[in-house]
A and B are shown apart, each in its own frame.
Chain A
Amino acid sequence: MTVLINDTGFLTTDPTRWIDPEARIDLPPDTDPARLRCLLIGKELVRIAFPGFADGRGFTLARMIRQQGYKGWLRAHGHVIADQYAMIRRSGFDDVEIDDDLAARQPEEQWLSRADWQAHDYQSRLRGRAA
């Protein structure tokens, strides 16, 4: 089983549960960025896989997806640690999905301590708007 996490902590219900299966897509980290536009047509939930927390490709994919105008739900899925939560949110993800073992090892308060991801952010300061 997995746990969903957003700025309010561990979620008990999935805010995307209403989205049709056809409007969902899972993207691996080696997704060709040139194909993003076409892959996202008609999608409302995009899950980007993090096979290991040190594989940072998902951050760039998320930002590209947002830069291309995608307004739907964006979820980071896999091995993401609490220390990366602010980076996840700043890259354009809405929430994180991790497995139960990781959630037991890094309980809710460790994630909540990074829920203030909008503070101390050089990127929004340098851009004059939300990155």
Chain B
Amino acid sequence: MYRYTDFDAAFVATRNAQFRAQVERRIDGSLTEDEFKPLRLMNGLYLQLHAYMLRVAIPYGTLNSAQLRQLAYIAERWDKGYGHFTTRQNIQFNWPKLRDVPDMLDALAEVQMHAIQTSGNTIRNVTADHFAGAAADEIADPRPVAELIRQWSTDHPEFQFLPRKFKIAVTGSPNDRAVTKAHDIGLRMIRNDAGKPGFEVIVGGGLGRTPVIGKIVRDFLPEADLLPYLEAVVSVWNLLGRRDNKYKSRIKITVHEHGIDDIRARVEDRFALLRPAFSGVDQQLFAQIKSDFAPPAFEDRDTAPFDQAYEQDSVFRSWADTNLSDHRAPGHAIAQISLKAHGATPGDASADQMRVMADLAARYGHDELRISHEQNIVLPHVHKADLPAIHAALKEAGLATANIGRISDIIACPGMDYCALATARSIPIAQEIATRFDQLKLEHEVGDLKIKISGCINACGHHHVGHIGVLGLDRAGVESYQITLGGDHTENAAIGQRTGPGFAADEIVPAIERIVDTYLSERLSADEAFIDTFARVGMTPFKTALYGENDKRAKAA
């Protein structure tokens, strides 16, 4: 794992002191509320519906046990004893007091964490594949790249007042678990025909009210050109991006309005101008960063305890079947801890649960944890022999839900329960769907099915790329939920299609049930996943199930 250099530590300490002074200067009137707002945002502090919210970065989703314990401490000392993990590898504290926030930031710095650029019109926390460094299908570890970008983008003098937020994601695997095509810039680590490492650069993807799948702006960028090329893209957009309308300011709109060829030409021009400013020192730092991410020493042990438990304990078997993924080292597995217990708030963890997970990571997991964009926790490196003990400890803490990738493993934004922008509730809908399918005992029969719920058109719940997407809107003061089908968040990224008119809050769970029933009766076999059945049979049977053969509403849609 990356360890702060003295430079990093001094930077964060200075930055925290500056923020402490900014809070005081807001109170004494030196800063107007308008001036204070972007300054608090670039330090992670939002003003929500009921209170401030502090969003803390978990860069590329990587945490150690000391860091997770400190998050538990912060949750108890300054918040309500829990934290909420987000879809962009952050954790949010929903109830901090403004005067406590500088102390919270200092507590984060003690464990080499910060909340810098988790909000505001800045380059946000860089995200990466949550299986990085562990996945069997990986070409290269994306975390050193993400860390290099973190350092480059942090406090970048040119990019603190951009037209809008700017999000970058990196994947080192052909199976994209970082949703790179829905980011302002997505980086896919590849090798060219000569075997040289580099990137495919995707630009202008995004969800929100105008969902767009990103386009390739450079099909092969040599590794050493990464920072100047990123700088060129953001620099071009900083001047060209619209500042007259916040809904048209993201780079996806700039690309749409000017065309990808025009943007590419401008970026190449700018790149030529600023490339000479990089003397190669960044590549030396990159080499040092890489050495921090050397894999742990994996043990060669007998997996008999795992095999026995798998044979004898059906609860363990069910958990192992859903929550484990292939690890590159023999005898090892990647274990996901679901934060989606049926009926609970997706992505929430209590301080006690955080400590349990930290202890497990320290004892069995080479002291590493990951946060996935699907709002679950990952133990990336565990030996199979230890899994029965890990599962037993998780069970005791209410963390052994066996539903990764299943219908109840729902991504949901905070919705109207917390968010000032929301037009409908998200969390209660997620809870009802999960509880219902748990009652029906259909979850494992249904298999891989991703439901994603957003409480407004800003799409924080990624509904556009859910196999089933749910969008909560306000229709004349009444919540109405629109359904989309066929979205895909992987390397085959696709935006879901609307089924038709929306459903009231009390109709949405039965509607989802009808969709699932349709899938079960249409699929060729249990091996055909929902998304594949949808691709084969199309929208019609689902529409009929939702609206009936002759329903006027279906025709209107």
Contact = CB atoms under 8 A, between A and B. Distances in A.
Given A126-B152, A131-B277, A53 B239 contact: no
Nearest to A30: B239
Contacts of A121: 155
Contact of B158 (A55, A63, A82): A63
A86 interface: yes
B14 interface: yes
A122 to B, nearest CB: 5
B273 A67 contact: yes
Given A54-B38, A127-B282, A90 B31 contact: no
Interface in A49-67: 53-57, 59-61, 63-64, 67
A12 interface: no
B450 to A, nearest CB: 37
Given A67-B277, A127-B278, A127-B281, A60 B21 contact: no
Contacts of A17: none
A35 interface: no
A113 B29 CA distance: 17
Interface string B242-268: 010000000000000000000000000
A67 B231 CA distance: 13
A18 to B, nearest CB: 29
A112 to B, nearest CB: 13
Nearest to A86: B157
Size category of the binding interface on chain A: 35 or more
Interface string B509-526: 000000000000000000
Grouping DSSP codes into helix (H, G, I), strand (E, B) and loop, the A interface class, with mixed when no group exceeds half, is helix
A57 B30 contact: no
B7 A59 contact: no
Contact of A131 (B157, B238, B280): B157
Contacts of B152: 122-123, 126
B273 to A, nearest CB: 5
Given A106-B30, A127-B277, A87 B239 contact: no
Given A57-B238, A87-B160, A113-B21, A129 B277 contact: yes
Given A87-B157, A106-B30, A128 B162 contact: no
A1 B412 CA distance: 53
A71 interface: no
B25 A110 contact: yes
Contacts of B235: 60, 63-64
23 contacts: A33-B239, A53-B161, A54-B38, A54-B161, A56-B162, A57-B238, A59-B157, A59-B161, A60-B235, A60-B239, A61-B239, A63-B158, A63-B274, A81-B35, A84-B160, A87-B160, A90-B157, A106-B30, A106-B31, A110-B25, A110-B30, A127-B278, A127-B282
